[in-house]
Amino acid sequence: MKAEIIAVGSEMLTPHRQDTNSLYLTEKLNQIGVTVAFKTIVGDRRRDLVSAIRTALGRVDIVIAMGGLGPTEDDLTREAAAEALSLTLRRDATQVAALHARAASWRITMPPNNLKQADVLEGATLLLNPNGSAPGQFIDTVFEGYRKLVFMLPGPPHECKPLFDAECLPRLREAVPPRAIATRTLKAAMIAESQADKLLAPIYSTFPDVHTTILAHAGDIQLTLQCAKPTLEEAQARVDELAGKLEEPLEDWLYSSDGETLEQIVLYYLGLRQSTLAVAESCTGGMIAERITSVPGSSRSFLGGVVVYSNDLKISLAGVSAELIAKHGAVSDEVARALAEGIRRRTGASIGLGITGIAGPSGGTPAKPVGLVYIAVADLLRTDSMDRTFRGDRQRIREWATQQALDVVRKRLM
Amino acid sequence: MKAEIIAVGSEMLTPHRQDTNSLYLTEKLNQIGVTVAFKTIVGDRRRDLVSAIRTALGRVDIVIAMGGLGPTEDDLTREAAAEALSLTLRRDATQVAALHARAASWRITMPPNNLKQADVLEGATLLLNPNGSAPGQFIDTVFEGYRKLVFMLPGPPHECKPLFDAECLPRLREAVPPRAIATRTLKAAMIAESQADKLLAPIYSTFPDVHTTILAHAGDIQLTLQCAKPTLEEAQARVDELAGKLEEPLEDWLYSSDGETLEQIVLYYLGLRQSTLAVAESCTGGMIAERITSVPGSSRSFLGGVVVYSNDLKISLAGVSAELIAKHGAVSDEVARALAEGIRRRTGASIGLGITGIAGPSGGTPAKPVGLVYIAVADLLRTDSMDRTFRGDRQRIREWATQQALDVVRKRLM
């Protein structure tokens, strides 16, 4: 069955706001076998709203409108749905009482406009909204000779999503033939999206029943495999079979076969080896520590580190020698190694990570261009280092450098 | 004039991807006085595409379709537009030659399918795309008796946006009555969105010709004022008049009258006072340093800092005494003050910032719940401290704490 999601609200037609509820709804709809064929974003003009709802009724089986159910004059979804479906609105007495009770509990006088929220489409069921004053509505109706399921939901995400889960999904499951979905997420670091697709497309394209998507961000590749079958066992078997075949060509770019983040994997291996990590960051300015400490429980393996932006701090906090900086420059292989070794020594961590580079936009030279980054990792026995030159703006260079540094630690631990 | 933006591509009907081009286009369209009345997202099915284009032609003056112009079988925007407009497609000889030349320059044999990209709507103008093989198209035509401007653009953002700027905007400016737009952005820290709106709505609602939007994120409020008038002077005067009236009730929550970020403002004041800053972070794990160092040139005033997750590091890197931690706990006002004073002393910075707290999800107690954060700022003469309890998940608590800490530094500098 095909659905259309209509997001109602003029603010989502500005350059500043986007509908995001629909991503959540789409995931849940796909899981029960409903395809989202269209999404429409429409403002708070009644004529436009009627057009959007009528268009949707003409081309899909399930119409889900979000927003425009509040008490203000701009909230017109009820009226527009009634017009599009040629139905009348009746004022629901129970709902009127509930609105009065709600206002009383807040010790406010209810503006008369609020009663709009008690208007119900003839033949519709009210969907009680525990998180707001505007209830949703559902109607199983006929439009131009075809059966249509129409849902109206409030717009705020914390009202829309729970109400969708509680009131829409069960009704849709009854209307849609049952099926089970299995999902698996593989993740890889520091391989280009085009290279990954070139390696993997010949494999996943032989699994037409598994839907494979690749998402890429700053050195991080996420492959999502999804399969729908009559039983979960069948779906899981196909997903696992494809995952197994994709893992081999990904070699050690692959860091997770089940969706973990790179920082989670680094912390997992640190725990496994009973190792601890400390970092000395220059160009990434705290981004590496921030990513690691975003994981709950990271304090078990991550001791902390230093952000040594100035040369003085490289010397005083990370124990780099002034002579080394004078001789090789702050952005150099030698200083990266000294940072890794220095922070390890100073903190007593089993592993020290050092990074120095030029994030830009200024500060580059022909010999040391913007984007050049030196990364070193040290343990008690040895120090390894590498350099890379990343392209893009300051933010992008810092993100790539952070990803590369975490990947270096992962490989050292494996 | 009213526009509809149609984003074409089945990937944008999955839970994983969203159209973002339309935000860029909307901003540019608004600036020349065009309202975006609808956005539609449609997949790569021909029947659906024809429905989307025909619906748009029936309700707006300007239709902009993005995507579906490539060489594959899934690229059907040309064919769908021809069907919706009842026009034929002709194969453009110059474009065929250009496609052959492009393939030759890459030393590849062109698959015959590629020639689709030379198909042009009868009466349309090709929009040459320097960043890809698929050109855009523009037609000034009549649909059901009304004039319609129809643009087809490639989907990839780095092709779509430059082509829109170079080829669509000039044509639209000719078609739309001229006007000038002035914009101003005010920013405030640590005031709740509802509180800001309660203070400000009575003021901005008396300026109906200035469009005011409020965006909020983790203790950061952004107020955007936009006004369109026949001349820029008139528009600017109205925006400035409203901005002046909004500044007063915002008191010292207001940190920028021109859109700068809080970290930019902190760095601005540090520069003005010829001061330097160093930070000692526990619960924020590097997020404060990361935000400050995201600003180019931050190294002039930001020396760096330490991420002291473990107690040992609080002692060894930030100079906190073991007795103090034992007596008051690592999350305490006393330790925050010692972190601020310690990092200032160790780095020689004029200002030291210390922060310690419980980011969760575990580690809270009745006396010190998850979300409790102590922040201290020290200079040579005195140390100030505060505590706050933030709600939400780990990420949200860290973001609020970071924002609060930056705001504390800003206020100390003012």
Task: Determine whether the interchain pair B286/A306 forms a contact, defined as Cβ–Cβ distance below 8 Å.
Answer: no
Q: Which of residues 222-241 of A touch B (CB under 8 A)?
A: 224
Task: Determine whether the interchain pair A213/B14 forms a contact, defined as Cβ–Cβ distance below 8 Å.
Answer: yes
Q: Averaged over A264-292, what is the pLDDT?
A: 97
Task: Determine whether the interchain pair B306/A309 forms a contact, defined as Cβ–Cβ distance below 8 Å.
Answer: no
The CATH number of domain A2-175 is 3.40.50.300? no
Instruction: List the single residue in A215, A279, A394 with the smallest CB-CB distance to B296.
Output: A394
pLDDT tens digits for range B346-388: 999 999 999 999 999 999 999 999 999 999 999 999 999 999 9
CA distances from B223 to A91, B196, B220, B234, B253 (A): 38, 10, 10, 20, 12
Residues of B in contact with A281 (CB under 8 A): 286
Q: Does A59 touch chain B (CB under 8 A)?
A: yes
Q: Does A183 touch chain B (CB under 8 A)?
A: no
Indicate if the pLDDT at residue A111 is higher than 80.
no
- Residue B335's pLDDT is 98
Indicate if the pLDDT at residue A23 is higher than 90.
yes
Instruction: List the single residue in A26, A27, A296 with the smallest CB-CB distance to B361.
Output: A296
Q: Does A361 touch chain B (CB under 8 A)?
A: yes
Distance from CA of B92 to the nearest CA of A (A): 30
Window from A129-133, A321-325, B65-69 with minimum mean pLDDT:
A129-133
Q: Averaged over A78-95, what is the pLDDT?
A: 96
Q: Does B214 touch chain A (CB under 8 A)?
A: no
Task: Determine whether the interchain pair A309/B286 forms a contact, defined as Cβ–Cβ distance below 8 Å.
Answer: no
Of all residues in chain A, the one with the smallest CA distance to B297 is A362
- Residue A215's pLDDT is 81
Of all residues in chain B, the one with the smallest CA distance to A305 is B307
Q: Does A73 touch chain B (CB under 8 A)?
A: no
Residues of B in contact with A40 (CB under 8 A): 38-41
Q: Are B402 and B409 in contact (CB under 8 A)?
A: no
Q: Which residues contact B321 (CB under 8 A, 6 or more apart)?
A: B315, B338
How many CB contacts within 8 angstroms connect chain A with chain B? 201
**Strand pairing category for A277-281 and A220-229:** unpaired
Q: Which of residues 330-349 of A touch B (CB under 8 A)?
A: 346-348
Task: Determine whether the interchain pair A303/B289 forms a contact, defined as Cβ–Cβ distance below 8 Å.
Answer: no
Q: Does A94 touch chain B (CB under 8 A)?
A: no
What are the b/e assignments for A241-259, b being 16+ CB within 10 Å? Answer: ebbeebeeebeebbbbbee
The ipTM is: 0.77
Give the span between the Cα atoms of B241 and A396, in whole angstroms: 38
Distance from CA of A4 to the nearest CA of B (A): 10
Q: Averaged over A152-171, what is the pLDDT?
A: 95
The CATH number of domain A262-413 is 2.40.50.100? no
Task: Determine whether the interchain pair B41/A38 forms a contact, defined as Cβ–Cβ distance below 8 Å.
Answer: yes
Which positions of chain B have pLDDT values less than 70?
none
Indicate if the pLDDT at residue A179 is higher than 90.
no
Q: Does B164 touch chain A (CB under 8 A)?
A: no
Distance from CA of A337 to the nearest CA of B (A): 19
Give the span between the Cα atoms of A134 and A113, in whole angstroms: 12
Residue boundaries of the structural domains of chain A: 2-175, 180-256, 262-413
Task: Determine whether the interchain pair A362/B293 forms a contact, defined as Cβ–Cβ distance below 8 Å.
Answer: no
- Residue A256's pLDDT is 96
Of all residues in chain B, the one with the smallest CA distance to A48 is B37
Residues of B in contact with A395 (CB under 8 A): 294
Q: Which of residues 13-52 of B touch A (CB under 8 A)?
A: 13-18, 20, 23-24, 26-27, 30, 35-43, 45, 48, 51-52
- Residue A249's pLDDT is 96
* A-interface mutation test, from B27, B310, B346, B393, most A Cβ less than 10 A away: B310
Of all residues in chain A, the one with the smallest CA distance to B28 is A15
Distance from CA of B39 to the nearest CA of A (A): 5
Using the Cα atoms of residue A78, residue A80, residue A81 and residue A86 in order, give the sign of their dihedral: positive
* A-interface mutation test, from B21, B313, B362, B395, most A Cβ less than 10 A away: B313
3-state SS, chain B, equals CEEEEEEECHHHHCCCCCCCHHHHHHHHHHHCCCEEEEEEEECCCHHHHHHHHHHHHCCCCEEEEECCCCCCCCCCHHHHHHHHHCCCEEECHHHHHHHHHHHHHCCCCCCHHHHHHHEEECCCEEECCCCCCCCEEEEEEEECCEEEEEEEECCCHHHHHHHHHHHHHHHHHHHCCCCEEEEEEEEEECCCHHHHHHHHHHHHCCCCCEEEEEEEECCEEEEEEEEEECCHHHHHHHHHHHHHHHHHHHHHHEEECCCCCHHHHHHHHHHHCCCCEEEEECCCCCHHHHHHHCCCCHHHCEEEEEEECCHHHHHHCCCCCHHHHHHHCCCCHHHHHHHHHHHHHHHCCCEEEEEEECCCCCCCCCCCCCCEEEEEEECCCCEEEEEEECCCCHHHHHHHHHHHHHHHHHHHHC
Instruction: List the single residue in B55, B286, B304 with the smallest CB-CB distance to A55.
Output: B55
Q: Averaged over A302-318, what is the pLDDT?
A: 95
Residues of A in contact with B39 (CB under 8 A): 12-13, 40-41
Task: Determine whether the interchain pair A39/B13 forms a contact, defined as Cβ–Cβ distance below 8 Å.
Answer: yes
Provide the percentage of residues in chain A whose pLDDT is more than 70.
100
- Residue A108's pLDDT is 74
pTM, full prediction: 0.79
How far from chain centre, in Å, is Cα B15? 20
- Residue A61's pLDDT is 96
Q: Are A153 and A78 in contact (CB under 8 A)?
A: no
Task: Determine whether the interchain pair B23/A41 forms a contact, defined as Cβ–Cβ distance below 8 Å.
Answer: no
- Residue B105's pLDDT is 81
Architecture of A180-256 per CATH?
A: 2-Layer Sandwich (3.30)
- Residue A310's pLDDT is 92
Q: Which of residues 292-331 of B touch A (CB under 8 A)?
A: 292-294, 296-299, 302-310, 312-313, 316-317
Of all residues in chain B, the one with the smallest CA distance to A299 is B309
pLDDT tens digits for range A211-261: 888 888 899 999 999 898 888 899 999 999 999 999 999 999 999 999 999
Task: Determine whether the interchain pair B307/A309 forms a contact, defined as Cβ–Cβ distance below 8 Å.
Answer: no
Instruction: List the single residue in A18, A52, A307 with the smallest CB-CB distance to B286.
Output: A307
